[in-house]
Amino acid sequence: MRIAGFRIYSIEIPMRFGVSHSLAARRVTSNVIVCAIAGNGYMGFGECCPRPYVTGETVDTVKRELLDNILPPMLGKCFSNLNHLAEYLSSALKNINKNQQAAFCAAELALLDLAGKTYTKSAADVIGPPVRRKVRYSGVIATDDPVKAGRFARAMRLFGFKDIKVKVGPSLEDNFHLLKSIRDHLPPSISLRIDANCAWSADRAIRQLLLMKKFNLAAVEQPVAADDYEGMAEITAAKLTDVVADESLCSIEDAQKLIDQKACDVFNIRVSKCGGLINSAAIYHKAVQAGLACQLGAQVGETSILSAAGRHIATRCKHIRWCEGSYGFLLLKHDITRTSMTIGPGGWAKRIDRPGIGVNPNEKKINKYKTEMIEVFK
Ligand SMILES: [Mg+2]
Protein backbone atom coordinates (compact mmCIF):
# COMPACT_ATOMS: atom_id res chain seq x y z
CA MET A 1 0.00 0.00 0.00
CA ARG A 2 1.64 3.21 -1.21
CA ILE A 3 0.37 6.58 0.06
CA ALA A 4 -0.21 8.65 -3.08
CA GLY A 5 -1.91 11.68 -1.55
CA PHE A 6 -4.44 13.25 0.77
CA ARG A 7 -7.48 15.49 0.65
CA ILE A 8 -8.21 17.74 3.61
CA TYR A 9 -11.83 18.85 3.94
CA SER A 10 -13.11 21.47 6.39
CA ILE A 11 -16.80 20.76 6.94
CA GLU A 12 -19.65 22.44 8.79
CA ILE A 13 -22.81 20.52 9.69
CA PRO A 14 -25.82 22.09 11.46
CA MET A 15 -27.05 20.41 14.63
CA ARG A 16 -30.68 19.71 15.56
CA PHE A 17 -30.41 21.83 18.72
CA GLY A 18 -27.88 24.05 20.46
CA VAL A 19 -25.42 22.51 22.92
CA SER A 20 -23.81 24.69 25.60
CA HIS A 21 -21.44 24.29 28.54
CA SER A 22 -19.06 26.47 30.55
CA LEU A 23 -16.49 26.74 27.74
CA ALA A 24 -18.56 26.84 24.52
CA ALA A 25 -21.96 26.95 22.86
CA ARG A 26 -22.65 25.68 19.34
CA ARG A 27 -25.41 24.97 16.82
CA VAL A 28 -23.07 24.03 13.98
CA THR A 29 -20.13 21.65 14.19
CA SER A 30 -16.79 22.47 12.49
CA ASN A 31 -14.77 19.33 11.76
CA VAL A 32 -11.82 18.36 9.57
CA ILE A 33 -11.97 15.22 7.42
CA VAL A 34 -8.80 13.70 5.97
CA CYS A 35 -9.02 11.34 2.98
CA ALA A 36 -5.90 9.22 2.42
CA ILE A 37 -5.52 7.91 -1.15
CA ALA A 38 -3.44 4.85 -2.06
CA GLY A 39 -1.60 4.31 -5.34
CA ASN A 40 -4.33 1.84 -6.41
CA GLY A 41 -7.08 4.43 -5.85
CA TYR A 42 -8.37 3.00 -2.53
CA MET A 43 -9.42 5.68 -0.04
CA GLY A 44 -9.48 5.85 3.77
CA PHE A 45 -11.16 8.52 5.89
CA GLY A 46 -10.32 10.08 9.23
CA GLU A 47 -11.79 12.94 11.24
CA CYS A 48 -11.09 15.34 14.06
CA CYS A 49 -13.08 18.00 15.90
CA PRO A 50 -10.51 20.65 16.83
CA ARG A 51 -11.58 22.60 19.91
CA PRO A 52 -9.33 25.43 21.19
CA TYR A 53 -10.39 24.90 24.83
CA VAL A 54 -9.31 21.23 24.73
CA THR A 55 -6.04 20.82 22.79
CA GLY A 56 -5.61 24.47 21.77
CA GLU A 57 -6.37 23.57 18.12
CA THR A 58 -8.74 25.19 15.63
CA VAL A 59 -9.79 24.12 12.13
CA ASP A 60 -7.12 26.50 10.77
CA THR A 61 -4.28 25.21 12.96
CA VAL A 62 -5.24 21.62 12.10
CA LYS A 63 -5.08 22.36 8.36
CA ARG A 64 -1.71 24.08 8.79
CA GLU A 65 -0.22 21.26 10.90
CA LEU A 66 -1.45 18.65 8.42
CA LEU A 67 -0.03 20.55 5.44
CA ASP A 68 3.26 21.65 6.96
CA ASN A 69 4.25 18.87 9.35
CA ILE A 70 2.07 15.77 9.58
CA LEU A 71 1.21 14.71 6.02
CA PRO A 72 4.43 15.49 4.04
CA PRO A 73 6.53 12.71 5.67
CA MET A 74 3.70 10.21 4.97
CA LEU A 75 3.54 10.91 1.23
CA GLY A 76 5.05 8.17 -0.94
CA LYS A 77 5.50 5.79 2.05
CA CYS A 78 4.74 2.09 1.44
CA PHE A 79 3.29 -0.22 4.08
CA SER A 80 3.20 -4.00 3.75
CA ASN A 81 0.47 -4.66 6.35
CA LEU A 82 -1.55 -3.09 9.18
CA ASN A 83 1.13 -3.78 11.83
CA HIS A 84 3.78 -2.13 9.69
CA LEU A 85 1.60 1.01 9.50
CA ALA A 86 0.89 0.87 13.26
CA GLU A 87 4.65 0.77 14.01
CA TYR A 88 5.17 3.79 11.76
CA LEU A 89 2.30 5.71 13.40
CA SER A 90 3.52 4.89 16.93
CA SER A 91 6.95 6.28 16.10
CA ALA A 92 5.47 9.38 14.34
CA LEU A 93 3.42 10.03 17.51
CA LYS A 94 6.61 10.66 19.47
CA ASN A 95 7.09 13.95 17.59
CA ILE A 96 3.50 15.13 18.10
CA ASN A 97 2.74 17.82 20.68
CA LYS A 98 -0.55 18.21 22.51
CA ASN A 99 -1.57 21.08 20.20
CA GLN A 100 -1.22 18.80 17.14
CA GLN A 101 -3.10 15.78 18.51
CA ALA A 102 -6.46 16.37 16.85
CA ALA A 103 -4.70 16.97 13.51
CA PHE A 104 -2.72 13.74 13.95
CA CYS A 105 -5.93 11.88 14.84
CA ALA A 106 -7.55 12.76 11.48
CA ALA A 107 -4.46 11.58 9.56
CA GLU A 108 -4.02 8.43 11.70
CA LEU A 109 -7.66 7.32 11.30
CA ALA A 110 -7.50 7.94 7.52
CA LEU A 111 -4.39 5.75 7.16
CA LEU A 112 -5.75 3.00 9.45
CA ASP A 113 -9.02 3.00 7.48
CA LEU A 114 -7.11 2.76 4.21
CA ALA A 115 -4.86 -0.07 5.45
CA GLY A 116 -7.82 -1.94 6.96
CA LYS A 117 -9.71 -1.78 3.66
CA THR A 118 -6.58 -2.75 1.69
CA TYR A 119 -5.78 -5.81 3.85
CA THR A 120 -9.44 -6.66 4.75
CA LYS A 121 -8.91 -6.19 8.47
CA SER A 122 -10.51 -4.03 11.12
CA ALA A 123 -8.42 -0.88 11.63
CA ALA A 124 -8.98 -1.47 15.35
CA ASP A 125 -6.83 -4.63 15.31
CA VAL A 126 -3.96 -2.24 16.12
CA ILE A 127 -5.41 -1.68 19.62
CA GLY A 128 -6.17 -5.31 20.50
CA PRO A 129 -8.91 -7.93 20.08
CA PRO A 130 -12.63 -7.31 20.74
CA VAL A 131 -13.81 -7.84 24.32
CA ARG A 132 -17.57 -7.25 23.94
CA ARG A 133 -20.22 -7.46 21.22
CA LYS A 134 -22.29 -4.46 22.23
CA VAL A 135 -22.01 -1.37 24.43
CA ARG A 136 -24.42 0.95 26.16
CA TYR A 137 -24.00 4.71 25.79
CA SER A 138 -25.03 7.47 28.23
CA GLY A 139 -27.23 10.45 27.47
CA VAL A 140 -25.84 13.97 27.85
CA ILE A 141 -27.92 17.02 28.84
CA ALA A 142 -26.22 20.29 27.87
CA THR A 143 -28.52 23.24 28.53
CA ASP A 144 -28.71 25.76 31.37
CA ASP A 145 -32.52 26.00 31.14
CA PRO A 146 -34.10 23.79 33.86
CA VAL A 147 -37.42 23.44 31.96
CA LYS A 148 -35.67 22.27 28.78
CA ALA A 149 -33.38 20.03 30.88
CA GLY A 150 -36.45 18.40 32.45
CA ARG A 151 -37.86 17.73 28.98
CA PHE A 152 -34.56 16.20 27.83
CA ALA A 153 -34.49 14.02 30.98
CA ARG A 154 -38.00 12.74 30.29
CA ALA A 155 -37.13 12.00 26.64
CA MET A 156 -33.94 10.21 27.72
CA ARG A 157 -35.85 8.08 30.25
CA LEU A 158 -38.31 7.07 27.51
CA PHE A 159 -35.38 6.31 25.17
CA GLY A 160 -34.08 3.94 27.84
CA PHE A 161 -30.77 5.47 28.92
CA LYS A 162 -29.40 4.06 32.18
CA ASP A 163 -26.79 6.77 32.79
CA ILE A 164 -27.02 10.50 32.10
CA LYS A 165 -24.36 13.21 32.23
CA VAL A 166 -25.37 16.81 32.93
CA LYS A 167 -23.35 19.88 31.97
CA VAL A 168 -23.32 22.29 34.91
CA GLY A 169 -22.16 25.91 35.26
CA PRO A 170 -20.49 28.16 37.84
CA SER A 171 -23.55 28.99 40.02
CA LEU A 172 -24.58 26.52 42.73
CA GLU A 173 -28.11 27.88 42.73
CA ASP A 174 -28.51 27.41 38.96
CA ASN A 175 -26.96 23.95 39.10
CA PHE A 176 -29.28 22.96 41.93
CA HIS A 177 -32.40 24.00 39.97
CA LEU A 178 -31.09 22.22 36.88
CA LEU A 179 -30.35 18.95 38.70
CA LYS A 180 -33.62 19.06 40.63
CA SER A 181 -35.61 19.50 37.42
CA ILE A 182 -33.74 16.59 35.82
CA ARG A 183 -33.99 14.29 38.88
CA ASP A 184 -37.75 14.94 39.13
CA HIS A 185 -38.16 13.27 35.71
CA LEU A 186 -35.96 10.25 36.43
CA PRO A 187 -36.27 7.15 38.64
CA PRO A 188 -33.40 6.58 41.12
CA SER A 189 -32.17 3.66 38.99
CA ILE A 190 -30.88 6.12 36.35
CA SER A 191 -27.47 7.39 37.41
CA LEU A 192 -26.49 11.06 37.10
CA ARG A 193 -23.01 12.48 36.76
CA ILE A 194 -22.01 16.08 36.13
CA ASP A 195 -19.42 17.85 33.97
CA ALA A 196 -18.35 21.34 35.08
CA ASN A 197 -16.00 21.95 32.11
CA CYS A 198 -13.45 23.83 34.29
CA ALA A 199 -16.09 26.15 35.84
CA TRP A 200 -15.02 25.97 39.50
CA SER A 201 -12.12 26.38 41.92
CA ALA A 202 -11.28 23.42 44.17
CA ASP A 203 -12.92 25.07 47.22
CA ARG A 204 -16.04 25.87 45.28
CA ALA A 205 -16.18 22.35 43.84
CA ILE A 206 -16.02 20.77 47.29
CA ARG A 207 -18.71 23.14 48.57
CA GLN A 208 -20.97 22.43 45.60
CA LEU A 209 -20.48 18.66 45.80
CA LEU A 210 -21.31 18.61 49.52
CA LEU A 211 -24.56 20.46 48.84
CA MET A 212 -25.37 18.24 45.82
CA LYS A 213 -25.15 15.04 47.90
CA LYS A 214 -28.92 14.51 47.69
CA PHE A 215 -28.61 13.96 43.93
CA ASN A 216 -26.38 10.93 44.53
CA LEU A 217 -23.95 11.89 41.75
CA ALA A 218 -21.91 9.06 40.23
CA ALA A 219 -19.04 11.38 39.24
CA VAL A 220 -17.93 14.96 38.64
CA GLU A 221 -15.99 15.67 35.46
CA GLN A 222 -13.33 18.37 35.15
CA PRO A 223 -14.43 20.52 38.11
CA VAL A 224 -11.44 22.91 37.79
CA ALA A 225 -9.22 24.41 35.08
CA ALA A 226 -7.32 21.99 32.83
CA ASP A 227 -3.91 22.85 34.31
CA ASP A 228 -5.08 22.86 37.95
CA TYR A 229 -3.79 19.37 38.81
CA GLU A 230 -3.47 20.38 42.49
CA GLY A 231 -7.15 21.33 42.57
CA MET A 232 -8.10 18.04 40.86
CA ALA A 233 -6.05 16.15 43.49
CA GLU A 234 -7.72 18.04 46.35
CA ILE A 235 -11.21 17.17 45.06
CA THR A 236 -10.21 13.53 44.44
CA ALA A 237 -8.86 13.27 48.00
CA ALA A 238 -12.15 14.64 49.40
CA LYS A 239 -13.84 11.44 48.08
CA LEU A 240 -17.26 13.08 47.67
CA THR A 241 -17.74 11.34 44.33
CA ASP A 242 -15.47 9.99 41.59
CA VAL A 243 -13.48 12.67 39.73
CA VAL A 244 -13.14 12.38 35.95
CA ALA A 245 -10.28 14.14 34.15
CA ASP A 246 -11.24 15.48 30.72
CA GLU A 247 -9.64 18.79 29.64
CA SER A 248 -6.72 17.85 31.98
CA LEU A 249 -6.18 14.65 29.96
CA CYS A 250 -5.04 14.89 26.34
CA SER A 251 -1.54 13.43 26.11
CA ILE A 252 0.39 10.52 27.62
CA GLU A 253 2.31 13.12 29.68
CA ASP A 254 -1.00 14.45 31.06
CA ALA A 255 -2.02 10.88 31.94
CA GLN A 256 1.23 10.32 33.85
CA LYS A 257 0.87 13.63 35.68
CA LEU A 258 -2.69 12.79 36.75
CA ILE A 259 -1.56 9.39 38.02
CA ASP A 260 1.51 10.77 39.83
CA GLN A 261 -0.50 13.52 41.52
CA LYS A 262 -3.51 11.23 42.31
CA ALA A 263 -5.58 13.89 40.56
CA CYS A 264 -8.57 11.79 39.37
CA ASP A 265 -10.37 8.43 39.58
CA VAL A 266 -11.40 8.17 35.93
CA PHE A 267 -9.85 9.18 32.58
CA ASN A 268 -12.17 10.58 29.91
CA ILE A 269 -10.67 9.28 26.66
CA ARG A 270 -11.82 11.02 23.49
CA VAL A 271 -10.18 9.80 20.29
CA SER A 272 -9.93 13.26 18.65
CA LYS A 273 -8.24 15.09 21.55
CA CYS A 274 -6.06 12.06 22.44
CA GLY A 275 -4.38 11.89 19.00
CA GLY A 276 -6.16 8.89 17.45
CA LEU A 277 -6.79 5.22 18.20
CA ILE A 278 -3.24 4.16 19.03
CA ASN A 279 -2.58 6.97 21.53
CA SER A 280 -6.07 6.59 23.06
CA ALA A 281 -5.34 2.91 23.69
CA ALA A 282 -1.94 3.79 25.20
CA ILE A 283 -3.63 6.26 27.59
CA TYR A 284 -6.23 3.59 28.45
CA HIS A 285 -3.51 1.07 29.33
CA LYS A 286 -1.82 3.64 31.58
CA ALA A 287 -5.11 4.09 33.43
CA VAL A 288 -5.59 0.34 33.85
CA GLN A 289 -2.04 -0.13 35.20
CA ALA A 290 -2.68 2.66 37.72
CA GLY A 291 -6.00 1.13 38.81
CA LEU A 292 -8.10 3.94 37.33
CA ALA A 293 -11.36 3.53 35.41
CA CYS A 294 -12.03 5.03 31.97
CA GLN A 295 -14.89 6.73 30.21
CA LEU A 296 -15.12 6.82 26.43
CA GLY A 297 -15.96 10.43 25.66
CA ALA A 298 -16.89 12.16 22.42
CA GLN A 299 -16.66 15.54 20.76
CA VAL A 300 -19.97 17.34 20.34
CA GLY A 301 -20.72 17.24 16.62
CA GLU A 302 -18.55 14.30 15.60
CA THR A 303 -19.75 12.40 12.52
CA SER A 304 -19.96 8.62 12.27
CA ILE A 305 -16.21 8.44 11.45
CA LEU A 306 -15.12 9.53 14.95
CA SER A 307 -18.08 7.69 16.47
CA ALA A 308 -16.85 4.46 14.83
CA ALA A 309 -13.34 5.05 16.19
CA GLY A 310 -14.87 5.53 19.65
CA ARG A 311 -16.94 2.34 19.22
CA HIS A 312 -13.71 0.41 18.64
CA ILE A 313 -12.29 1.72 21.94
CA ALA A 314 -15.55 0.85 23.72
CA THR A 315 -15.65 -2.72 22.36
CA ARG A 316 -11.93 -3.50 22.62
CA CYS A 317 -11.02 -1.94 25.99
CA LYS A 318 -12.42 -3.91 28.92
CA HIS A 319 -12.37 -1.32 31.70
CA ILE A 320 -14.63 1.31 30.16
CA ARG A 321 -17.21 2.38 32.75
CA TRP A 322 -19.26 4.84 30.67
CA CYS A 323 -19.53 5.62 26.96
CA GLU A 324 -20.61 8.84 25.29
CA GLY A 325 -21.05 9.82 21.65
CA SER A 326 -22.49 8.00 18.63
CA TYR A 327 -25.46 10.40 18.77
CA GLY A 328 -25.44 10.68 14.95
CA PHE A 329 -28.86 11.73 13.67
CA LEU A 330 -30.07 12.43 17.21
CA LEU A 331 -27.76 15.47 17.25
CA LEU A 332 -26.60 16.21 13.69
CA LYS A 333 -29.02 17.24 10.96
CA HIS A 334 -26.92 15.22 8.48
CA ASP A 335 -24.13 12.65 8.61
CA ILE A 336 -21.50 11.99 5.95
CA THR A 337 -21.35 8.19 5.99
CA ARG A 338 -23.42 5.48 4.34
CA THR A 339 -23.38 3.46 7.56
CA SER A 340 -24.71 5.41 10.55
CA MET A 341 -23.26 4.85 14.00
CA THR A 342 -26.35 6.31 15.73
CA ILE A 343 -27.17 4.44 18.95
CA GLY A 344 -30.41 2.50 19.30
CA PRO A 345 -33.03 2.40 22.11
CA GLY A 346 -31.53 2.19 25.58
CA GLY A 347 -28.30 3.68 24.24
CA TRP A 348 -27.21 0.27 22.91
CA ALA A 349 -24.88 -0.09 19.93
CA LYS A 350 -23.11 -3.02 18.30
CA ARG A 351 -19.43 -3.69 17.73
CA ILE A 352 -18.18 -2.95 14.20
CA ASP A 353 -16.58 -5.92 12.45
CA ARG A 354 -16.18 -4.46 8.97
CA PRO A 355 -12.78 -3.76 7.33
CA GLY A 356 -11.13 -0.41 7.97
CA ILE A 357 -12.75 1.92 10.49
CA GLY A 358 -16.02 0.32 9.38
CA VAL A 359 -18.12 3.21 8.07
CA ASN A 360 -18.30 4.26 4.45
CA PRO A 361 -18.02 8.02 4.11
CA ASN A 362 -19.89 9.35 1.11
CA GLU A 363 -17.76 11.85 -0.84
CA LYS A 364 -20.86 13.51 -2.27
CA LYS A 365 -22.09 14.26 1.25
CA ILE A 366 -18.65 15.47 2.36
CA ASN A 367 -18.61 17.82 -0.64
CA LYS A 368 -22.06 19.09 0.30
CA TYR A 369 -20.92 20.25 3.75
CA LYS A 370 -17.36 21.29 2.90
CA THR A 371 -16.24 24.89 3.31
CA GLU A 372 -12.80 24.15 1.82
CA MET A 373 -10.86 21.27 0.26
CA ILE A 374 -7.08 21.08 -0.14
CA GLU A 375 -5.27 18.33 -2.08
CA VAL A 376 -1.79 17.16 -1.16
CA PHE A 377 0.01 14.90 -3.66
CA LYS A 378 3.67 14.10 -4.06
MG1 LIG B 1 -16.07 16.92 29.52
Cα–ligand 1 centroid distance for 371 (angstroms): 27
Same domain, 16 and 103: yes
Query: Cβ(13)–Cβ(333) under 8 Å?
Result: yes
Cα–ligand 1 centroid distance for 81 (angstroms): 36
Cα–ligand 1 centroid distance for 146 (angstroms): 20
Cα–ligand 1 centroid distance for 377 (angstroms): 37
pLDDT value for 329: 87
Same domain, 37 and 105: yes
Cα–ligand 1 centroid distance for 197 (angstroms): 6
Same domain, 167 and 308: yes
Cα–ligand 1 centroid distance for 294 (angstroms): 13
Close Cβ partners of 148 (under 8 Å, ≥ 6 residues apart): none
Cα–ligand 1 centroid distance for 43 (angstroms): 32
Cα–ligand 1 centroid distance for 92 (angstroms): 27
Same domain, 219 and 79: no
Cα–ligand 1 centroid distance for 340 (angstroms): 24
Cα–ligand 1 centroid distance for 270 (angstroms): 9
Cα–ligand 1 centroid distance for 351 (angstroms): 24
Same domain, 341 and 364: no
Question: CA angle, 244 as apex, 243 and 248 as ends, to 5°?
Answer: 115
Helix (H, G, I), strand (E, B) or coil at 67: helix
Sheet with 370-377: list strands edge to edge.
Answer: 43-48, 24-38, 3-21, 370-377
Cα–ligand 1 centroid distance for 77 (angstroms): 37
Same domain, 95 and 134: no
Outline where DSSP puts E strands in 105-200: 134-136, 139-141, 163-167, 191-195
**Domain containing 152 — which CATH number?**
3.20.20.120
Sheet with 191-195: list strands edge to edge.
Answer: 139-141, 163-167, 191-195, 219-221, 242-245, 266-269, 293-296, 320-323
Question: CA angle, 273 as apex, 156 and 152 as ends, to 5°?
Answer: 15
Helix (H, G, I), strand (E, B) or coil at 57: coil
**Domain containing 371 — which CATH number?**
3.30.390.10
pLDDT value for 354: 96
Cα–ligand 1 centroid distance for 22 (angstroms): 10
Same domain, 72 and 9: yes
Same domain, 238 and 175: yes
Number of domains in the chain: 2
Per residue in 277-322, pLDDT (tens digit) is: 999 999 999 999 999 999 999 998 999 999 999 999 999 999 999 9
Cα–ligand 1 centroid distance for 223 (angstroms): 9
pLDDT value for 343: 97
Same domain, 85 and 14: yes
Cα–ligand 1 centroid distance for 297 (angstroms): 8
Cα–ligand 1 centroid distance for 175 (angstroms): 16
User: β-strands 134-136, 139-141: how paired?
Assistant: unpaired
Show the low-confidence residues of the chain (pLDDT under 70).
none
SS (H, E, C) 8-35: EEEEEEEEEEEEEECCEEEEEEEEEEEE
Cα–ligand 1 centroid distance for 355 (angstroms): 31
Cα–ligand 1 centroid distance for 63 (angstroms): 24
Structure-derived torsion over alpha carbons of residues 193, 139, 99, 228, reported in degrees to the nearest 10: -10
pLDDT value for 17: 78
Same domain, 284 and 346: yes
Cα–ligand 1 centroid distance for 16 (angstroms): 20
Same domain, 98 and 135: no
Cα–ligand 1 centroid distance for 268 (angstroms): 7
Same domain, 179 and 284: yes
Cα–ligand 1 centroid distance for 344 (angstroms): 23
User: How much is the pTM?
Assistant: 0.95
Cα–ligand 1 centroid distance for 198 (angstroms): 9
The string of DSSP codes covering 240-285 is: SSEEEESTT-SSHHHHHHHHHTT--SEEEE-TTTTTSHHHHHHHHH
Cα–ligand 1 centroid distance for 301 (angstroms): 14
Cα–ligand 1 centroid distance for 62 (angstroms): 21
Domain of residue 98 covers: 3-122+359-377
